[in-house]
Each structure stands twice: as C-alpha cells, then as structure tokens.
Amino acid sequence: MIMKYINMDFSEHEAKLGNKIEADEDYKDARKTFKESLSLLDRELNIKIEDHAGYVETLAKDIAYNEGFKEGVRFILGCISTGKEVFQHE
C-alpha cells in the first residue's frame, strides 16, 4: 500500500489533492476574490499573473503533499519501532 504512494506520479497526487482543495469553501471564496481582482487588470497582465499564481499554487501543493507524506511515514515508523503511537513536537 505505501509503495503506491511512494511511486505516485505528480499528476496523480495533484488531482487527488486538488479536488480536496477546490472543494473547500474558504478556498473557493479566496479564489473568487482573486479572480475578481484580476478582472480589473488589462488582459495581458491578468493572464501573466494568473499563470504565475497557478505555478506558485502548484508548488505549494507539491510541498504540502511531500511534507505531509514524510510526516506520515515518520509517524508510522515511530509506531512500528516502539510498538505504540509516538507523538513528538520539534
């Protein structure tokens, strides 16, 4: 099971994570406000900012997924090595 996630292609986890993010009401509101603000700009600048924002958002999702996965693996390994749940705060 864990190998499935280790070998998961970026596009697979982008789709899985993206669906959850885009379903979030706070995200929807923030995205709507952002798009409304962009609509006040000329078309060329609007497209450029939208492209850059999409890239930043994709990077943030990738980092969040990778960090969450690493933390999950650390937790599982801690449970296995001690035989009980391990909670640690750095």
Q: What is the pLDDT of residues 19-68, one digit of tens each?
A: 888 889 999 999 999 999 999 999 999 999 999 999 998 888 888 888 88
- Pull the structure tokens for residue 23: 């379903």
Question: 78, 88 in Cβ contact below 8 A?
Answer: yes
Q: How much is the pTM? A: 0.61
- 15 vs 70, higher pLDDT: 70
Residue 40 lies in a domain: yes
pLDDT at 56: 93
Residue 88 lies in a domain: no
Q: Which long-range contacts (CB under 8 A, 24 or more apart) does 2-10 make?
A: 2/73, 2/76, 5/69, 10/62
> How many domains is the chain built from?
1
